[in-house]
Amino acid sequence: MSVSTAATAPTLCAPLPVLGRDVTVPLVTGGEVGYAALDYAASAPALQRVWDDVAAYAPYYGSVHRGAGYLSQLSTDLFENARRTVAGFLDCRPDDQLVFTRSTTDSLNLLAAALPAGCQVFVFETEHHAALLPWKDARVTCLDAPRTPLQAVAALERALADREPHGPALVCVTGASNVTGELWPVRELAAAAHAHGARIVLDAAQLAPHHPVSVRDLDVDWVAFSGHKLYAPFGSGVLAGRADWLRAAEPYLAGGGASRRVTRRADGGVDVQWHESAARHEAGSPNVIGAYAIASACEALTEAGFDSLVAREQYLVEKVRTGLAEVPGVRILSLFGDDAPRVGVISFVVDGWSSSHLAAALSAEHGIGVRDGLFCAHPLVRTLLDGDSRDQGECGASGAAPGERSLDAIRVSFGAGTPDEHVDRFVAAVRELVTRGAKWRYRTRDGRCVPEA
């Protein structure tokens, strides 16, 4: 994967309209300011287009797959058309299945439940916990954090070649790190996996909102992502890819919709014939609004054009990285180095500041929302901060007091809806806080740094 690193913006597209762009928030120093939402990597704001599409459909909402009435038929068509739209967005193969789930985490847990007996899973310690933790019923090999894309491919090839016995195997890898934003060599890792008889699933939670994702071009077996990171925060996610393991597995949830036929046996038991389609793993009433919202976001991003979106985002990335590099004591976290292609996700630490203190001051004094902590990627963050990836830590902010060193970081993230003014204000605010100090006093309460009343 390669991306543009344009540093000028004469022909870049405007930010896409998102909800919340006119929201103002109070400052502890007095007055109000427009809120700068720079935590896209956690949850991106809803695209205005998505909100409008959902609002237009809402009066026609009805049951899916079960009703003979007009609204039920309309909702069923909408749901299945959404499936086709998202499959097209991902450039799925003709025989792939696309299952609507609740999130990336849910998608990977579904795949984990569908693994064949004896399957071995290979995952780097750099993964989000959603990709590290679901494989509890499989034999897991956790690989050390690589320092170059070539090291990542070589480490995977060695691990796959050495595996015993040579049964089914699955590789799980991110497309873009939720900590550093760096793009991973997905196509090369997929080639290595397939050369050794393994399959691969791509965690595209941080990739799909920023770059086109082609299942065919990357040659991955499955891809998973969340709607709430793709400007569609309505509680839906996607798992798309090869159908055989999904068809062979017991339904992820047992219930209506997953079953084709249920009959009583003479002995009092129940026999069930399950669907072999995606419905097999979509028991219960489907989240038609969530699926429709994802499809709407896919259409909006496609129509805007990823070339333009990527170019503008890289312009913002360079503005933030260049600005932070000029602030004394700031260290930007990276696995692959300054020249590695990346999306709009940047994590950093500042000498003399706990991450919780700086994040609290950015919010309270400047109206800027970022994230601090370990970002549900504990081993990676601790490795990047020269700690031990096996150290224990808690999600969220550290308990370090203002001025104390903390083994966690600050993350700023942005995307298609971010205006230039937000990143400019962020860089200026970090510079002011680091060079002049906070204007307010802060204390630690319940593990978080908060302004004193």
Which of the residues are catalytic? 376
- Alpha-carbon gap, residue 258 to 269, rounded angstroms: 18
Query: How far, in Å, are 8, 37, 199 from residue 369 at the CA level?
Result: 26, 5, 38
Give strand pairing partners of 451.
Answer: 442
d(CA 182, CA 190): 17
Helices (H), 90-135: 104-113, 129-132
Which amino acid is present at 16?
Answer: L
| b/e sequence 265-297, b meaning 16+ C-beta within 10 Å | eeeeeeeeebbeebbbbbbeebbbbbbbbbbbb
Q: Are 362 and 429 in contact (CB under 8 A)?
A: yes
3-state secondary structure of 418: coil
d(CA 262, CA 126): 44
* CA distances (Å), origin 206, targets 28, 43, 81: 33, 10, 24
Backbone angles phi, psi at 305, to 5 degrees: 95, 115
Sole residue written with tokens 């590099």:
325
Residues 72-79: contacts with CB within 8 Å, 24+ apart?
75/288, 78/288, 78/292, 79/286, 79/288, 79/291, 79/292
